[in-house]
Structure 1
Amino acid sequence: MISDRPTEVGDRAVPGHWEGDLILGLGSSAIGTLVERTTRFTMLLHLPRMERHGIDKSVKNGPALAGHGAEAVRDAIAETIMELPAHLRRSLTWDQGAEMAQHAQLRIDTGLEIYFCDPQSPWQRGSNENTNGLLRQYFPKGTDLSQYGTDELSAVAHALNTRPRKTLGWRTPAEALDQVLNQAIIDGVATTG
């Protein structure tokens, strides 16, 4: 639970702690969102519908053909987060949605500590909720989100990550993340010299 998170997560002092969620669209379509708490850097998860969506009847405990079932979300998070250096993969805080039923395997696959918000407490992932609000400028409610591919999601993430933020002293999330990455390189050189 979120109450078990270390204080470094809550005070945003240490980078590498993420918040995640899904934004839902028309026809049970979805896009996954990951937001780093310190830098507000955003990564979007492509969650395409499975091949037989709309054709096959839903099977209890079967695959989520809408594309945002537990296995699909686990795989999308793992694939995306593993592109980052280890020091930027510390934890992930999510709501209590069924899409995180594979959280134990996600932890094994990525090394992320996984925390869950209290029920009906979206403000406990404030950075992610704010980002999801910004994303609705690009993906309005009632839109079929399955029409957007990885290229479109990358373009939207780029737009958000190059948008200056007051909370970052008018730096962009990309600049803030770049500073974190450069500091890690400097610290690495200092310890080996």
Structure 2
Amino acid sequence: MRAACREVGVCRTTGHNWKNGTTIRLKDGTVKVVPPLEPLSTRVISSRFLSEQERVQIADLASIGLGPTAIAKELGRSPSTISRELRRNLHPTGQYRPFHAHAVAAARRRRPRSLKLTLNAGLGEFVRDKLRQRWSPQQISRALPHAHPEEPGMRISTEAIYQAIYRPETGLLRRPEPSPLRTGRDHRRGHTRPVRSRRRFAAPMVSVHDRGFEPEDRSQPGHWEGDLIVGPNHRSGIGTLVERQTRYVKLLHLPVQDSATLHAALVASLGALPAPLRRSLTWDQGTEMARHLDITRDTGIPVYFCDAASPWQRGSNENANGLLRQYFPKSTDLSVHTPHDLARVEQELNARPRMILGDRTPAELFADLLASRKHPLLR
């Protein structure tokens, strides 16, 4: 994409908008939709079909008044081919525009099938209802066999739901309405490479490598991961905690984003848990954890710190923060959310079935841990 934009002489943002399409909102409230580039229009096709260059010649010859027979003789094509081309691929203005005609012909060559969600009204309504509840496509796909065990027609794959979202004509996403996905995306996006940098802090902070187990090991309950999601200019924030084994989420109301407020919130949230569920807390190297020794003293939880630019060492918490951004979008003031708002979001998030938990919910598993004296391991 970078090389193509450099060749054409446009910025990469413009190039991505041309390729993927975009929605433009003008100052007068008008909404313009730029459709994505049709991939088939750029491919080399059989000589049996009209090429883009031939369509340019057709437009030039038709503009000087030549008819289908004369144009066909000039191009070495059948008159019926030219007549059908001029009739089927006209621009909405009534003119024949070669580049528009080539894109329309390429889109018609795709011959798309109707999606399953448009053919099965009950299935489509189930998917729309769960998307409104902020379920992911994977959670919806896995919930269908449990919700409709005797109806084989009520099945759909995760990829089919994503395709229905990315195709606006299905009704799951109608531009300019926002995307129902948690990421807010209306098209696929490539992955980026992780950025690596040196450590920011030294002792007395205890490294995550001294924790005694690898980030992939979740065999023992009571190990937590934490972080902050912050508002504009770091003037507001919400603390997030995730229990590594059950993926249970706790949210911390922080009226002020400083180490003293976070210390009080962590003591109130984790201090009441039984000792087997207070084994460790893993955090990043943020200044809000300046009182980590006080947290360990008041709660009995040792605090470990991740390497700089290594979010995978707190994978469960990073995933939870991504889910929470659907409730608390970036660049918004987080101080307007009350403790009651955080409790509602926390309850809704913990009530979702998770594939990694065998389609059980974090709330259900965490309640089992609290009710059990031995705190059995999850298998």
TM range (shorter): 0.7 to 0.9
- Show structure 1 runs of 5+ residues with no match: 49-66, 188-193
CA deviations 1:100-154 (Å, max 9, x no partner) are 0100010000000110000111111000000000000100111110000110000
Q: Distance in 1 between matches of 2:317 and 2:355?
A: 16
Structure with more strand by fraction: 1
Task: Name the structure 2 match of 1:80.
Answer: 269
Partner SS, residue 304 of structure 2 = strand
- Show structure 2 runs of 5+ residues with no match: 1-206
TM, length-normalised to structure 2 = 0.43
Change (3 A) 1:175 1:105: same
Shift of 1:179: 2.0
Question: Does 1 or 2 have the higher relative contact order (CA < 8 Å, sep 6+)?
Answer: 1
Q: Distance in 1 between matches of 2:310 and 2:223?
A: 18
Shift of 1:182: 2.8
Q: Work out whether 1:19 is the aligned partner of 2:225.
A: yes
Task: Name the structure 2 match of 1:60.
Answer: none
Shift of 1:8: 7.7
Report runs of 4+ in structure 1 exceeding 6 Å deviation.
none
TM, length-normalised to structure 1 = 0.83
RMSD value over aligned CA atoms?
Answer: 1.6
8 A contact 2:215–2:314 mirrored in 1 = no
Q: Work out whether 1:159 is the aligned partner of 2:344.
A: no
8 A contact 1:9–1:17 mirrored in 2 = no
Q: Distance in 1 between matches of 2:325 and 2:211?
A: 29
Task: Name the structure 2 match of 1:144.
Answer: 333
8 A contact 1:164–1:173 mirrored in 2 = yes
8 A contact 2:215–2:313 mirrored in 1 = no
Shift of 1:9: 6.9
Equivalent residues in 2 for 1:35-50, closer than 5 Å: 35-48=242-255
CA deviations 1:139-193 (Å, max 9, x no partner) are 0111110000110000000011101111101100001112222332688xxxxxx
Shift of 1:10: 4.8
Task: Name the structure 1 match of 2:99.
Answer: none
Change (3 A) 1:105 1:10: farther
Shift of 1:26: 2.7
Partner SS, residue 134 of structure 1 = helix
Q: Distance in 1 between matches of 2:269 and 2:246?
A: 17
Give the percent of matched residue pairs that are identical in Structure 1 and Structure 2.
Answer: 56
